[in-house]
Amino acid sequence: MLRSTTRHMKMHLFMLFAFIVLASAQRRCDQDIEYEKNGECCKMCAPGTRMLRTGSCDEPRCEECGENDYQDTYTTDSKCKRQPYCDPNRNFNRTTHMSKTQETKCKCKLGFHCSSTECITCVPHTVCPPGKGATTEGSHSQDTVCEECPDGTFSNESSWSGVCKAHTKCENDYHIKEAGTSTSDNICEMNSRSHVIGIVLGVLCGIIFFLGIAGVIAYRMKGGAEGNFKEFKNCLNPTGAGEKEPLGEVKVIANPAEEESMLHPEEEGPMVSTPEENDDSQSLDTSLVLGYTFNGQPVQQDMTKTEQLSQEESQSTNL
């Protein structure tokens, strides 16, 4: 019994050893880049190409994929895969296929998402009405998710991407005139005292501003008046000297008879004469004698005293 058991064990060990030897003698093919043909491991064509049937096992003939085709793995296929057509009539963006090793994914237009997992067509996103905001904004693969605006927030528009906004907080010197709701914001109003102070400050600033403008206008008008006066003065005095010209030498014409008696006293002889008083018309005529300056300007001079002195000298000469 013991001998038969030992014999069976030796048999099993021999068979296991033989199986191991046979398995190690046979070469296994790399399933990613090779394929088995007639017990041999043959090479496959690389991604982006297709295999032609005229090649050998070790040196296959591969050709690049054509336009709008692709191949994303090592292959023995003689045809490449076709790129998908992104139809704009189904709300897809127009796509240019640039890769020959990857499949182009069609993308929905902005505001649209795939209608199913296969993404055969695109449908518009859900629009959140006023009072609701988007918690999850719509994308290429999913729709917009809307929710009611919580307390302290609002939304006053219809949008698939708009979110609820916080109510405005009134600053200092302001109070809430009308409280906001889920569809409207807070309305702030200035406090009455601050409102009056603001009005007073505005009035004062306006007065100061207008006074400044009035001062500038008055200053310019004053300067203009002085300039006009100087121009008028220069017109009256063409020489521009601004000073009175001195009177020239006045030539006095005396009475011809008296002048003759003064020059020739011996011809008349001794005689006593009394001075005769001139009437008013003569006094008026002789009191004003016309003379001229060097510039030719007429000058009047009182000659009454000069005439009286001439008469007295004439009397003393006759005596």
Instruction: Assign 277 a pLDDT band (cuts: 50, 70, 90).
Output: very low
Domain holding 81: CATH number?
Answer: 2.10.50.10
Q: Give the residue-averaged pLDDT of 245-260.
A: 47
Closest CA to 113 of 73, 154, 144: 144
Between CA 90 and CA 106 the distance in angstroms is: 11
Is 41 part of any domain? yes
Is 69 part of any domain? yes
Its domain, for residue 41, covers 33-87+95-102
Instruction: Assign 56 a pLDDT band (cuts: 50, 70, 90).
Output: confident
Burial of 71 (0-12, 13-18, 19+ CB in 10 A): buried
Is 282 part of any domain? no
Between CA 104 and CA 106 the distance in angstroms is: 6
Is 249 part of any domain? no
Longest dimension (CA), the chain: 222
pLDDT at 239 over 70: no
What are the phi and psi torsion angles at 245 (to 5°)?
-85, 140
pLDDT at 283 over 80: no
Instruction: Assign 214 a pLDDT band (cuts: 50, 70, 90).
Output: confident
Is 143 part of any domain? no
Is 46 part of any domain? yes
Taking all residues of the chain, what is their mean pLDDT, rounded to a whole number? 75
Q: Give the residue-averaged pLDDT of 260-270.
A: 47
At position 4, the amino acid (one-letter code) is S
Q: Give the residue-averaged pLDDT of 144-166.
A: 94
Alpha helices in the chain (DSSP H): 2-25, 192-236, 256-263, 280-287, 304-318
Looking at the 3D structure of the chain, how many domains does it have? 1
Q: Give the residue-averaged pLDDT of 17-36.
A: 69
Is 243 part of any domain? no
Is 122 part of any domain? no
